[in-house]
Structure 1
Amino acid sequence: MNSGRREFLAVAGAAAVAGYAGFRGGRSAGPPEVKAPVQKPLAGAMSQVAVVKAASYSHEIADAMMRGILECGLDVTGKRVLLKPNLVEFDFNTCINTDVAVVAAALDVFQSLGAEEVRIGEGPGHRRDTYAIAALTRYRTELPKFDDVFIDLNRQDVSVVQGFADRKEFYFANPVFEADLIVSLAKMKTHHWAGATLSMKNYFGLVPGSIYG
């Protein structure tokens, strides 16, 4: 794992805890506007959370996602959505990636809720042939119009954000800035450095390999 990507995890965690708004999603006509971070107090802030059980990788996944989204009052009508699965490498003997059924369900749910565009993006930090991993994990064969909706974030143009957490600047792939909503479809598992891979750790793949290795 490259030190630049490790640094991202540390500063991203700090940004979340401190309530910084230096890194924003949301579409733009060009590179993001350069601004100093604006600190937002967390006091009084509350996130909408829903915990919905799905017993298996079946149609229940889409139903559970839909219930959770509706319970949280999330409106994606006319929005551009970027789905971020955990797609890092492949091993026939274990489960280390977000199951294709989860990604397919999310794609269907957000499209049915009226999103203007739903795309899937990942920038693996281990295996760099992203499309080969997508084939091994059945993404290419089981996701509708895969080649139209999938983005290899390691190979996209990038833009810089200045004042991200306590760093002078940080680069992200442009599709990150073009999205109104980024959805982390994490694969819960242990991790040798972070301890566990959850929703925040999954954003590791937003950091472009073309810059940070």
Structure 2
Amino acid sequence: MQIQEIIRGKKGKLTIRLEGGLSFPIYEKEAAKYRMTEGGTLSDQEWNEICTEILEKRAKRRALYILQRMERTEYQLRQKLQENGYPEEIVQCAIDYVKSFHYVDDYRYACTYIRYHQTEKSRLQLKMKLYERGVASDLIEQALEDEYSGEEEQLIDRLLEKKHYDAETMDQKEKQRIYQYLMRRGFRPETIRHRMGI
């Protein structure tokens, strides 16, 4: 494998770009051990050694560190590791490792998210937020079925109270504005109209 480019970063970190677009992060000391130079080559044996002895171990530690600070979905963890410059096969190895200990569990993440946010978000908003975080739709549906106990009517009432809604005194334009606000929050139109008395 030919080394096309060596990019210097901070604190002795390098990014090595190989032919075919593959790149990986490594420290200067490690690069020196393998005599890496631009235009030089890595044997298959050296590449395998770098993967198993350096990159896999480092990516696993990085994944554990990321998860220690905050629970993440598999998609979010994958993004973080890719941002750190790890090749896809190394990222997958680190994800498989943390999944084997159930440190990453998208269903558990979805359940926890729903439990903590159902009092301020509609069912649709919860779905969309979890979908944005890369949780599979079947896991979202299962988690909603198992965890969602939010009464949409009560949630709408709380939001109407917060907006100082009064069906008697508000003009049509203001009612329409509040109706649109609740629609954007993901509530069903018929439920909104019923609670607003329109």
TM over 0.5: no
| More relative contact order, 1 or 2 (CA 8 Å, 6+ apart) | 1
Structure 1 or 2: larger strand share? Answer: 1
